[in-house]
Structure 1
Amino acid sequence: MKKIPSWALVILTFLLLSAPMLVNSGSNVDEPFAGTDAAAETLVEDANPGYESWFSPLVGELPAEVESGLFALQAALGAGLLGYVLGAYRERNRNELEETRKS
């Protein structure tokens, strides 16, 4: 099998990570990276102008720094949990393999 040079992998990774920012970046001038909540709110208001929300958030509007911090915390906890589960499965498989070799 032919090996891919590491510089090519770095360039490919950069292109994959930058593509979402380049594609469709000018479609929403006010907020180029507006979330799906804002898009859904706009669609609901267009479909039913008299709609009243039946739920209000438990916490008021949070500053952008707090939101991004909570999002980063959520990502870190998810990555930690995923790493733990993958490590536990790997160790369990390793222990089972050692037990079958001993017997």
Structure 2
Amino acid sequence: MKKTLMLLALVVALVILPFFINHGGEYGGSDGEAESQIQAIAPQYKPWFQPLYEPASGEIESLLFTLQGSLGAAVIFYILGYCKGKQHRDDRA
């Protein structure tokens, strides 16, 4: 019980701490930062690939990114649960 509470407190601290460390900062995406760095280093650079689908707005892009992450997490945890259940079943036999 004590270990669980300590882990929960650690998770809460890790979630809240960045807001105090970077107070008033801007949280931008890595794609935009990479694009600006590439333009600064090599202004003549032309992208060699165009996206297959360009979302209509940033909100839709965030939604698709979140759905992709959620689906990936669901697959990973399904596999972990399946393996744990299989191991538990084999231990009983």
1:25 Cα deviation after fit? 4.6
Match of 1:55 among 43, 49, 59: 49
Q: Secondary structure at the match of 1:52?
A: coil
1:33 Cα deviation after fit? 1.2
2:10 maps to what in 1? Answer: 12
Q: Which amino acid aligns with 1:34?
A: G
Indicate the structure (1 or 2) with the bigger Cα radius of gyration.
Answer: 1
Cα distance in 2 for partners of 1:94, 1:59 equals: 44
The runs of 5 or more residues in structure 1 that have no matched partner are: none
**TM-score, normalised relative to structure 1:** 0.71
Work out the number of aligned pairs and report it.
93
Range moving further from structure 2, 16-25 or 37-46: 16-25
* Higher relative helix content: 2
Q: Which amino acid aligns with 1:63?
A: S
1:72 Cα deviation after fit? 2.0
1:10 Cα deviation after fit? 4.9
The runs of 5 or more residues in structure 2 that have no matched partner are: none
Cα distance in 2 for partners of 1:16, 1:56 equals: 36
Aligned residue runs from structure 1 range 1-103, under 5 A:
3=2, 6=5, 10-26=8-24, 32-99=26-93
After superposition, the C-alpha distances for 1:68-95 in whole angstroms (9 at most, x for unaligned) are 2112211221221122111111111112
Go from structure 1 to structure 2 and tell me whether the alpha carbon gap of 1:35 and 1:86 turns closer, same or farther (over 3 Å shift): same
